[in-house]
Amino acid sequence: MKSLTHPAREDLLIQSVLDALANPIRLRIVKRLAGGEELTCSTVLPEVSASTASRHWQVLRESGILWARREGRIILHTLRREDLDFRFPGLLDCVLAAVEEEERGTAA
């Protein structure tokens, strides 16, 4: 089984984080994880093919936005909020607020 690698807190790069957050599907994942849940791939992206979903989770993990851990055959994901807030204070809150605002505008 392939090991799940994560960048150390001090190795998180703003370019990688912003690039990962530029995708609407990955933003949806981050929004769900921001609720503090630990989620599986299929919980958040049931309509996305397994290979596409896997790539989105990989980008988020490798950019340092989330932690992934194996539990048997399942991979569970959590948001690295503490690390992100330490490295880039306020970034995650601003991104999540912008997503909420955009969703409210779209719903109106």
**CATH class belonging to 9-107:** mainly alpha
Q: Where are the domains of the chain?
A: 9-107
pTM, two decimals, is: 0.89
72-107 per-position pLDDT tens digit = 888 999 999 999 999 999 999 999 999 989 888 876
Q: In which element (H, E) is residue 91 found? A: helix 91-107
Work out the percent of the chain whose per-residue pLDDT is above 90.
Answer: 62
> In sequence order, which residues have a C-beta less than 8 Å from that of residue 82 and are 6 or more positions away?
none
Q: Which pair of tokens denotes residue 16?
A: 């990688």
